[in-house]
């Protein structure tokens, strides 16, 4: 990720154009070719491969800059994985939402085992908008009891946290997978784990914005969302 004051320095297009493209590409199921046509209609000629590079460069930066503004989630975690194809192979996207459907966190992994589950929980627990869970609702995957037991032993997880392996209680996160699947479908496909991870970070953080997880901005106020993003990147809205 670029951490300098001006992440757009030295780039061919203005920050306003790049952020406009990124803001439209990540929360909506728009292919890079369609986005190319949308920009052409606004008098900006950009190749779809350039748009892909913008997402690779700026989606993780967007994730980093928006996270401090997320409202707190609850201690009722609903955890599940969905499948994502990367270079012809199925990978696992670990995801968690709270009882209100607010996204807690996500992690792309090559495996669906206890080590991957533990990495995911550790990542989620480090976030400023999360709390140590009271309940963890999961499916019958044997990785979860193993991961949570080890984390309780090591003091990483609250020792009274209740693990519930009840698939029917996880409908809320299974439904939420569809939001991310719709965004993945129109793309050019993921050619590497690295590109998949960076793009999905953008999909997920903008999904949080669209859910209303930014503490001061309503879910349907795209103008204020755009203004916040511009401000976070040091660009005039």
Backbone angles phi, psi at 91, to 5 degrees: -115, 170
| Residue 219: partners with Cβ closer than 8 Å, 6 or more residues away | 209, 210, 211, 212
> 3-class DSSP state for residue 9?
coil
Contact by Cβ (8 Å): 123, 108: no
Per-domain boundaries in the chain: 15-70+191-232, 76-179
Mean pLDDT of the chain: 92
CATH fold of the domain at 76-179: Nucleotidyltransferase; domain 5 (3.30.420)
Contact at 8 Å (CB) between 19 and 235?
yes
2, pLDDT greater than 90: no
Task: Give me the half-sphere count of Cα atoms (radius 13 Å) on the Cβ side of residue 124.
Answer: 32
**pTM of the predicted model as reported, rounded to 2 decimal places:** 0.93
Mention every residue, 6+ apart, whose C-beta is less than 8 A from residue 166. Answer: 137
Model confidence pLDDT, tens digit, residues 164-179: 998 788 899 999 999 9
83, 64 Cβ separation under 8 angstroms: no
Per-residue DSSP letters for 124-148? HHTSTT----SEEEE-S-THHHHHH
pLDDT digits (tens, 9 = 90+) for 128-153: 999 999 999 999 999 999 999 999 99
Tens of pLDDT along 64-75?
999 999 999 999
How many Cα atoms are found within 13 Å in the side-chain-facing hemisphere of 205?
26
């Amino acid at each position: 990720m670029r951490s300098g004051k001006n992440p757009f320095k030295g780039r061919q297009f203005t920050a306003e154009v790049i952020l406009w493209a990124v803001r439209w590409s990540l929360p909506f199921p728009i292919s890079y070719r369609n986005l190319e046509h949308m920009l052409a209609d606004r008098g900006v000629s950009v190749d779809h491969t350039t748009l892909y590079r913008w997402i690779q460069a700026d989606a993780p930066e967007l994730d980093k800059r928006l996270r401090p503004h997320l409202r707190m989630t609850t201690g009722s975690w609903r955890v599940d994985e969905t499948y994502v194809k990367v270079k012809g192979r199925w990978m696992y996207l670990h995801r968690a939402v709270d009882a209100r459907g607010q996204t807690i966190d996500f992690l792309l992994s090559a495996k669906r085992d206890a080590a991957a589950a533990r990495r995911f929980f550790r990542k989620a627990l480090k976030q400023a908008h999360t709390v140590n869970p009271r309940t963890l609702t999961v499916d019958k995957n044997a990785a979860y009891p193993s991961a949570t037991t080890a984390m309780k032993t090591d003091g990483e997880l609250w020792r009274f946290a209740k693990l519930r392996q009840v698939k029917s209680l996880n409908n809320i996160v299974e439904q939420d997978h569809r939001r991310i699947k719709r965004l993945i479908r129109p793309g050019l496909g993921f050619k590497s784990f690295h590109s998949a991870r960076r793009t999905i970070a953008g999909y997920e953080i903008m999904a949080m914005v669209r859910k209303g997880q930014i503490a001061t901005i309503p879910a349907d106020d795209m103008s204020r969302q755009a203004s916040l993003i511009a401000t976070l990147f040091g660009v005039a809205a």
